[in-house]
Amino acid sequence: MFDIATRVYNHTWKIDPIVRSVLDTDFYKLLMAQTIFRRHSDVAVTFAIKNRTTEIKLAEVIDLGELREQLDHVRGLRLSRGESTWLRGNSFYGKRQMFGADFLTWLEGFRFPDYHLERDGGDIKLTFEGPWIETTFWEIPALAILSELRSRAVLKGMGKFELQVFYARAMTRIWDKVLRLKKLEGTRIADFGTRRRHGFLWQDWCVQAMVEGLGDGFSGTSNCLIAMRREVEAVGTNAHELPMVYAAIAGDDASMTQAPYKVLADWQQDYDGNLRIILADTFGSTEFLKHAPEWVDRWTGMRIDSGDPFEKGEEAIAWWAARGQEPKDKLIIFSDGLDVERMEALHQRFHGRVRLGFGWGTLLTNDFRGLAPGRGTDPMSLVCKVWSADGHPAVKLSDNPVKATGPSAEIARYKRVFHTERQKALPVTV
């Protein structure tokens, strides 16, 4: 195993680029990209970075010149022959040839499009404009770059011995968490931490720790590059991006209310089995479930990514039961700001009532809280969301109004159209 502290102490970005492959992204990006490629490749989309940790001003921490170097490095990446072979020949979710030959041929020729970067007061304005099929690939590397550049900045000046102790404490913390999670009977836990990771090397170490510590309780990593290198499962399904764009280009309010179900109808044509996981909260999960077509309740499970997870878990179970489905046969994947204490509590509530899964993100791959007092090593809450599609504003409401994105007037409109005016605000930490 490599010495992370020495690599951090000695690194320059040319030796350790933050994003080192087209596959250094989350698996759901590839799945969604194939759906976009088949149906909406001509839609023009703008993505934008949003910093939800407003007390941290990124432009005061990160050097914009270094940020440009890292972004430009990504623009020079292309899929390697070995990576293409892995995508073409590997089994994902038990299925070979998950990706069509036409999509993979396109991906082999793909290059990241240009970006727009400027300082906005103390913060950074970073946007990506172009065809949806191209701009979608910027989300994960952009967030990973910003997160790691901040990590590098706050650790700058630490001596080699100090870094050794710093990482030793962090490793002990993660290993203690893993040993606690190993006790959760019948639970499967995946690494969902690419977007806000401390760094690629650290995420890779965390995955190795989970492989050894959790055994069969480890379900895989969302990071395609790590999955390929470590020969573990690549996991992920779909994200809020799809219904956000489908709703933005819908045309009228009536069509907009059907957009989330159109997403699932398209997804159902492309994928089956454990990839049929409902993400209900883009515009409010209660109304989504109330009006969902009959075929949706036969899907494999549901991912809960906002709101009170205990309330939303109970809501999902009640919905399946009311639809004549057996909740014990269904899979719930919790993925919102999880750490070990929350996963233990959710396991206590729902074990034996549903099949349980957890997507463990930021507090797996970037939990250095309190390990270097005064340096600001707590993780940030950064997102990269669709801002517009074909010139129409894009909106995400979620089950927590604090996580809403989009222009305020459009947020108000979407709340009216989707009947989500009353929502309980909850703190967002990561």
Report whether pLDDT(126) > 60. yes
Number of other residues whose CB lies within 10 A of the CB of residue 421: 10
Q: How confident is the model at residue 15 (pLDDT cuts 50, 70, 90)?
A: low
Kindly report the average pLDDT of the chain as a whole number.
95
Per the domain annotation, does 29 fall within a domain?
yes
pLDDT for 244 beyond 70: yes
In a domain, 21, yes or no: yes
pLDDT of residue 5: 82
How many domains does one find in the chain?
Answer: 1
Q: What is the mean pLDDT of residues 242-248?
A: 98
The CATH number given to whatever domain includes residue 85 is: 3.20.140.10
Is there a contact between 343 and 210 (Cβ–Cβ < 8 Å)? no
Model confidence at 425: pLDDT above 90: no
Which of the four pLDDT bands, split at 50, 70 and 90, describes residue 16?
A: confident
E-strand ranges in 343-397 read 355-360, 382-389, 392-393
- Looking at residues 381-389, what average pLDDT do you find? 96
Mean pLDDT of all residues in 298-309: 97
Average pLDDT over residues 167-196: 97
User: Quick one: what percent of the chain has pLDDT higher than 90?
Assistant: 91
Q: What is the pLDDT of residue 11?
A: 61
Q: Which domain does 102 fall in, by range?
A: 4-157
Q: Is residue 265 part of a domain?
A: no
- Assigned domain for 149 exists: yes
**Could you tell me where the DSSP H helices lie in 272-398?**
285-291, 309-322, 340-350, 362-365
At 33 the pLDDT is 98
Residues 6 or more apart whose Cβ sits within 8 Å of residue 421? 415
In a domain, 45, yes or no: yes
DSSP H helical segments within 323-424, as ranges?
Answer: 340-350, 362-365, 408-417
Token pair in block for residue 187: 């639970």
The token pair at 164 is: 């050794």
User: What is the mean pLDDT of the segment spanning 302-311?
Assistant: 97
Whether 35 is covered by a domain: the verdict is: yes
In a domain, 144, yes or no: yes
Please check whether residue 338 lies inside any domain of the structure. no
